A and B are shown apart, each in its own frame.
Chain A
């Protein structure tokens, strides 16, 4: 099946302009001149026609400098896994933390599968980096499309809000490790190396000993056919009691905290359970939340 590639005009515009500037600063003004030869005349058009023509120009140059080719190359490399995909839309984003791929909500016909990749324009300035990013994200898309993977967003929403943030972070780290492990085994360059993934896993699972952490990293890195269920099990898994990471979000209020508190008395625990039944002392909480529940337990008493 042919995958339709959709590119957001704002992304195209920013990428083209960044590329023009990069080349110009490097002393090559040919593309700059070519762009202005075409673009300047577009101002003669009636305002309502300009946007479309500019978009076409940006798309043309985007293709000409090889960016589109890099995307299609990444798609081709995984054509098997992406067989069901009808379209891929690239959207512009500003922040690194907003980058990533996801499946678009199904539209009519309900069976059609569309993916969205949010990407910063600056990535296009380094084709190698762009390639690694696309390869990585498209493996995620492949997993999402795969029945064997069994993606089930509902399983995350079933987790109580206070814990969902932590589980999501762990899930993200574990899945990313699996993706890069597979890419490296298939001779493609991963987005991040084992070392970086180990660090990320350590941040999410600070209680694990070095040995346990290495074991988890191996397991994930070498998992050729990960499943949503397995990854979720890793993410929600509760090992031994964990020391909490400074700056990690409190599972109750969600504010990042450097003041984790131990709860040993039954009364505050009971007070917490009235609001958050699936919270457990091992999850920890920030000092502010503890104070509030301690106070409430005194009032209730």
Chain B
């Protein structure tokens, strides 16, 4: 029967009426007096309708999946499915069941897992911003169809390489996308190979140094980035396997064999995000120190520096609260009265970018008051080693002992456990202490730490100055570094530290006393202090009080940082186990193992790709080379770090462009020189908008192949795949990589490409996962099939095989007297690498930032005669950013405080903090409806004020008095501008249409928690693009929703990156730094991606804030909520009384 909607409704109503009156119970009840109804449930009308509500949680099936954004938590959630639709997710409450091979199980306190991100993931899977199919940029496609002609200014314009943001993205089939991309790769690799390639690149202005790792191969201009690869080792880190695959392409392009072939460059993640604590490798040699979160419970004094363990680390920050329950004292060191500050026993407010001075001040008190742990200092730190005051280098035994030969340590821990090679052992050398028992210098090796030192009968002195006779007959002054630090710390007396940091003196003393008297002490740091130019110094400084008081290597102690799930070391290889992580990303593409049953230990690793910091691309695609008055052209980028020109970029699972500091400089001035940009993602991001090829990936709940992950903040090893069919024409990210490689092989008629990805192409990624487990120190012994069968708890989960639960860094060093991963084998307070001495940072010293300071940029605050920096002849008033970066001027605080940063003088008087938000994970979830609404004070699903870019918008938090002084009302739109010389981009002009896109305009919110000169804007929001601004200005509803792409911006104009820029810290580019490799038990000198390389520092900026528009509806008057008298910073008299507790006065007892 053909029933219309109208007929249906009529029938329904009529039938309902008849039925109602024909029911005897109802009829009787209707006639009976109400007072006689004893049990209303028996007589009231049928309640079938309630079934609708009860059934809303009904499901047909469920499955578990891992919510795997870059938050570090990797929460396993349970998804519920009805009619094939993923309806919702809940906590799985499985953590207490998870065990390991030895029978250990995890603590139940890991339950529950998940947060508002994972619980709303279905809104992203089915949401409006989802990528639905592959796309190719129209201009790029035309360029390809025209045979990839050489890019000149004219052709760049013709094919819109200089206007990607204004071009169209065209739908493509997967085969078209792969074919176009493969042809592009082949053409570009050919163009930039060999002599002709070099000639072209030189003509384009790339300096000669950038050919250091190019080696004649065009494939080395390919930059591949798997976004925080640990989030999915196969699909994300798999991008680096693809970079290794490119060596096969090189053999076709240049006709070379495997010996000369070169793969692409692996772009970094952790360092690029600025997530690393870059100073930590200088202190202990490890990439980073972090603990499983349940380790927090052991601390008795918890010091948070720039760390927000209330708002962030969502599933696990209950461990921070548990500290209180367990009687720990909590101290918070941050500029603003932050959420954790409100939970702290005391809060030490500091001037942003001055924490190093505070830590040095604390250290001085600990030494002056003799509150240090002398045995620990002697056994585990370098403070007992002798340093020469003439050369500033550590004294070497061969300098004072004629015919000295290095003792055999081949059976020691360095060589048997840490993978120190004989060559490296020779290069690292030995050290000298002054022995109190013999009153003479004694040579020690890097193995002589802890009990090993005691066994030798050596008791190093910590104080005193000595004269050593060198083998060539000279007398040189030497002293233990402890003594040298006493000289050094004279500059950091309490009054000076107070002046530098603005921290109250009594609280500094109180903290020093607490560190000395409470054990264990832990310092937890994060982006709060890592996002400054001199993070290296503050990271090193954070260890100093801990080294002095024996607070490293003990449960509940240490200095730890979490900001990004970076830890490839969780799949660490070793001599005993095999290549680990490298067996996946760097298996030899010329000899891949095609046996599905092969043990991972047998996989042959050969890395043809070479890592590179993304930071160079973000710096105009150039290294740090400065024309100095004293030495002329000077290269500050170490050889090991040297980038190559960027011609192809392929990123997966990262919003690389959106999150790039100085993004508009990149879009305007850098990316037009990049010939192919590819993004693999699940949603339409700014990175996709500015890409040439967009590849649509399956989400975590749609994945059709197994994936594996782990975490730097919990012990869970997890394998999973999706439980619903892909909603759109999307594919697993690992399959996209594999099929891309296979397409190259198809076009080149070379089977090796497909072989290299054999098990991904066959849908058997568990083969690769098994190999990974086999060959890692942390997982050998596990079988994928056992884990998936639930042998260790919830199917898919097991515990990583750690030495301790919770995982405690350096527990072995302190408990078993093993060397740390530094040259000296000890925790280092001193660095004598030649570049570091030149930069004046051999001691841990406070430096003003190169930009974010009221004082002379980059000044070294010291009078220590053992600091002898080189300023390269750069005048003190030079304001160039590269010159400021490298100029090393040592000045006493008394002089520094008389200076002024020219920017500060021009009104750029606000430090701009850019922390994480609790409502998103970096750029993930930023525009998901509920998150965009709740992420700010201006969320409005109805968008009553049509100026709003979406259902919410980005916000600047500002001190109310500072705002009032600028004529800014609560809720007004404001401009936030940084140095006009280079931001938003170099060469901007007011009448440039792109400038309109890039100038940051957002809402201001009064927030009394922030000091006068500090503003705060969360990071990760979706930037304004050319399309989104056009949409905002032309759509009737004013939404910043790009036509054609569906991209939603969080801003009307500009972004949080309008005010940031790239900085290339010389201290991050050393060739001489000796430290542990990140994912193997062995060592490296100089660069290693994500380990020692340029970190980005978005906070290193000063901004000016100016009113743009009234905050009231439609731009008229004051934003209504600010007129109620109840909003912070604009309280009515009543509200002030309420806050003062004066509304309900309690009469004193008589």
Question: Do A and B bind?
Answer: yes
Q: Shortest CB–CB separation between residue B1132 and chain A, in angstroms? A: 26
Instruction: Write the chain B residue with the least CB distance to A290.
Output: B980
Q: Does the CB pair B4–A43 fall under 8 Å?
A: yes
Cβ contacts under 8 Å, B906 to chain A = 291
* Chain B positions near chain A (C-beta within 8 angstroms): 4-6, 906, 946, 967, 975, 977, 980-981, 988-991, 995-996, 999, 1001, 1036-1038, 1053, 1106-1110
Q: Shortest CB–CB separation between residue B1034 and chain A, in angstroms? A: 10
Q: Does the CB pair A275–B980 fall under 8 Å?
A: no
Cβ contacts under 8 Å, B1106 to chain A = 257-259, 287-288
5 additional contacts (CB under 8 A) given A93-B1036, A98-B1036: A255-B1108, A258-B1108, A285-B990, A288-B977, A295-B981
Q: Does the CB pair A253–B6 fall under 8 Å?
A: no
A256-B1108 contact, Cβ under 8 Å, with A43-B5, A43-B6: yes
Instruction: Write the chain A residue with the least CB distance to B999.
Output: A255
A292-B990 contact, Cβ under 8 Å, with A255-B975, A255-B1001, A255-B1108: yes
Instruction: Write the chain B residue with the least CB distance to A254.
Output: B996
Instruction: Write the chain A residue with the least CB distance to B9.
Output: A40
Instruction: Write the chain B residue with the least CB distance to A36.
Output: B6
Cβ contacts under 8 Å, B977 to chain A = 288
**Assembly CA distance A255 to B1052 (angstroms):** 12
Instruction: Write the chain B residue with the least CB distance to A251.
Output: B990
**Assembly CA distance A41 to B6 (angstroms):** 8
Q: Shortest CB–CB separation between residue B1026 and chain A, in angstroms? A: 16
Q: Shortest CB–CB separation between residue A261 and chain B, in angstroms? A: 11
Q: Does the CB pair B1110–A162 fall under 8 Å?
A: no
12 A-B interface contacts by CB (under 8 A)? A43-B5, A43-B6, A44-B6, A94-B1037, A253-B991, A253-B995, A254-B990, A258-B1107, A259-B1107, A276-B991, A288-B980, A288-B1106
Answer yes or no: A208 CB below 8 A from chain B CBs: no
Q: Which 9 residue pairs across A and B have the least CB separation, nearest first?
A: A253-B990, A252-B990, A258-B1107, A94-B1036, A292-B980, A291-B980, A289-B990, A43-B6, A44-B4
Instruction: Write the chain B residue with the least CB distance to A299.
Output: B981
Q: Shortest CB–CB separation between residue B11 and chain A, in angstroms? A: 14
Answer yes or no: A95 CB below 8 A from chain B CBs: yes
Q: Does the CB pair A40–B1107 fall under 8 Å?
A: no
Instruction: Write the chain A residue with the least CB distance to B996.
Output: A254
Q: Does the CB pair B975–A292 fall under 8 Å?
A: no
Answer yes or no: A247 CB below 8 A from chain B CBs: yes
Q: Does the CB pair B6–A95 fall under 8 Å?
A: no
Q: Does the CB pair B991–A292 fall under 8 Å?
A: no
Cβ contacts under 8 Å, B1110 to chain A = 247
Answer yes or no: A9 CB below 8 A from chain B CBs: no
Q: Does the CB pair B990–A258 fall under 8 Å?
A: no
Q: Shortest CB–CB separation between residue B1142 and chain A, in angstroms? A: 37
Most chain B CB inside 10 Å of its own CB: which residue of A98, A259, A275: A259
Answer yes or no: A161 CB below 8 A from chain B CBs: yes
Answer yes or no: A250 CB below 8 A from chain B CBs: yes
Q: Does the CB pair A295–B980 fall under 8 Å?
A: yes
Q: Does the CB pair A256–B980 fall under 8 Å?
A: no
**Assembly CA distance A93 to B1034 (angstroms):** 12
**Assembly CA distance A59 to B1110 (angstroms):** 41
Q: Shortest CB–CB separation between residue A227 and chain B, in angstroms? A: 30
**Assembly CA distance A275 to B987 (angstroms):** 12
A288-B975 contact, Cβ under 8 Å, with A247-B1110, A275-B989: yes
Cβ contacts under 8 Å, B1001 to chain A = 255
Q: Does the CB pair A258–B991 fall under 8 Å?
A: no
* Chain A positions near chain B (C-beta within 8 angstroms): 40-41, 43-44, 93-95, 98, 161-162, 247, 250, 252-259, 275-276, 285, 287-289, 291-292, 295
A292-B988 contact, Cβ under 8 Å, with A43-B5, A95-B946, A255-B999: yes
Cβ contacts under 8 Å, A291 to chain B = 906, 980
Instruction: Write the chain A residue with the least CB distance to B7.
Output: A44
**Assembly CA distance A287 to B1037 (angstroms):** 31
Cβ contacts under 8 Å, B990 to chain A = 162, 250, 252-254, 275, 285, 288-289, 292
Q: Shortest CB–CB separation between residue B1104 and chain A, in angstroms? A: 8
Q: Shortest CB–CB separation between residue B803 and chain A, in angstroms? A: 56
**Assembly CA distance A252 to B980 (angstroms):** 15
**Assembly CA distance A256 to B1109 (angstroms):** 7
**Assembly CA distance A13 to B990 (angstroms):** 44
Q: Shortest CB–CB separation between residue B451 and chain A, in angstroms? A: 62
**Assembly CA distance A253 to B1001 (angstroms):** 14
**Assembly CA distance A291 to B990 (angstroms):** 11
Q: Shortest CB–CB separation between residue A99 and chain B, in angstroms? A: 12
Q: Shortest CB–CB separation between residue B1083 and chain A, in angstroms? A: 46
Instruction: Write the chain B residue with the least CB distance to A285.
Output: B990
Instruction: Write the chain A residue with the least CB distance to B1036.
Output: A94
Q: Does the CB pair A275–B991 fall under 8 Å?
A: yes
**Assembly CA distance A258 to B1001 (angstroms):** 14
Instruction: Write the chain A residue with the least CB distance to B1108.
Output: A256
Cβ contacts under 8 Å, B1108 to chain A = 255-258
Q: Shortest CB–CB separation between residue B1091 and chain A, in angstroms? A: 38
Q: Shortest CB–CB separation between residue B607 and chain A, in angstroms? A: 45
Q: Does the CB pair B6–A40 fall under 8 Å?
A: yes
Cβ contacts under 8 Å, B980 to chain A = 288, 291-292, 295
Cβ contacts under 8 Å, B991 to chain A = 161-162, 252-253, 275-276
Q: Shortest CB–CB separation between residue A162 and chain B, in angstroms? A: 6
Q: Shortest CB–CB separation between residue B993 and chain A, in angstroms? A: 9
**Assembly CA distance A109 to B541 (angstroms):** 81
Q: Shortest CB–CB separation between residue B257 and chain A, in angstroms? A: 52
Q: Shortest CB–CB separation between residue B991 and chain A, in angstroms? A: 6
Q: Shortest CB–CB separation between residue B174 and chain A, in angstroms? A: 34
Instruction: Write the chain B residue with the least CB distance to A258.
Output: B1107
**Assembly CA distance A247 to B975 (angstroms):** 12
Instruction: Write the chain B residue with the least CB distance to A252.
Output: B990
Instruction: Write the chain A residue with the least CB distance to B10.
Output: A40
**Assembly CA distance A122 to B981 (angstroms):** 49
Most chain A CB inside 10 Å of its own CB: which residue of B996, B999, B1107: B1107
**Assembly CA distance A186 to B425 (angstroms):** 102
Cβ contacts under 8 Å, A93 to chain B = 1036
Q: Does the CB pair A247–B996 fall under 8 Å?
A: no
Q: Shortest CB–CB separation between residue B302 and chain A, in angstroms? A: 44
**Assembly CA distance A123 to B844 (angstroms):** 71
**Assembly CA distance A43 to B2 (angstroms):** 12
Cβ contacts under 8 Å, A247 to chain B = 1109-1110
Most chain B CB inside 10 Å of its own CB: which residue of A44, A247, A250, A288: A288
Q: Shortest CB–CB separation between residue B910 and chain A, in angstroms? A: 15
Cβ contacts under 8 Å, B1037 to chain A = 94
**Assembly CA distance A259 to B907 (angstroms):** 13
**Assembly CA distance A125 to B734 (angstroms):** 59
Instruction: Write the chain A residue with the least CB distance to B972.
Output: A258
Q: Does the CB pair A258–B967 fall under 8 Å?
A: yes
Q: Shortest CB–CB separation between residue A253 and chain B, in angstroms? A: 4
Task: Specify which of A95, A250, A256 is in contact with B1036 (CB 8 Å cutoff).
Answer: A95
Q: Shortest CB–CB separation between residue B905 and chain A, in angstroms? A: 12
**Assembly CA distance A265 to B981 (angstroms):** 19
Cβ contacts under 8 Å, A257 to chain B = 1106, 1108
Q: Shortest CB–CB separation between residue A46 and chain B, in angstroms? A: 11
**Assembly CA distance A269 to B505 (angstroms):** 50
Instruction: Write the chain B residue with the least CB distance to A250.
Output: B990
Cβ contacts under 8 Å, B5 to chain A = 43
Q: Shortest CB–CB separation between residue B995 and chain A, in angstroms? A: 6
Q: Shortest CB–CB separation between residue A50 and chain B, in angstroms? A: 11
**Assembly CA distance A41 to B1109 (angstroms):** 50
**Assembly CA distance A258 to B999 (angstroms):** 16
Q: Shortest CB–CB separation between residue B282 and chain A, in angstroms? A: 37
**Assembly CA distance A252 to B991 (angstroms):** 6
Most chain B CB inside 10 Å of its own CB: which residue of A93, A94, A161, A258: A258
Instruction: Write the chain B residue with the least CB distance to A45.
Output: B4
**Assembly CA distance A58 to B305 (angstroms):** 66
**Assembly CA distance A10 to B476 (angstroms):** 92
**Assembly CA distance A287 to B1001 (angstroms):** 15
**Assembly CA distance A253 to B990 (angstroms):** 4
Q: Shortest CB–CB separation between residue A290 and chain B, in angstroms? A: 9
Cβ contacts under 8 Å, A253 to chain B = 990-991, 995-996, 999
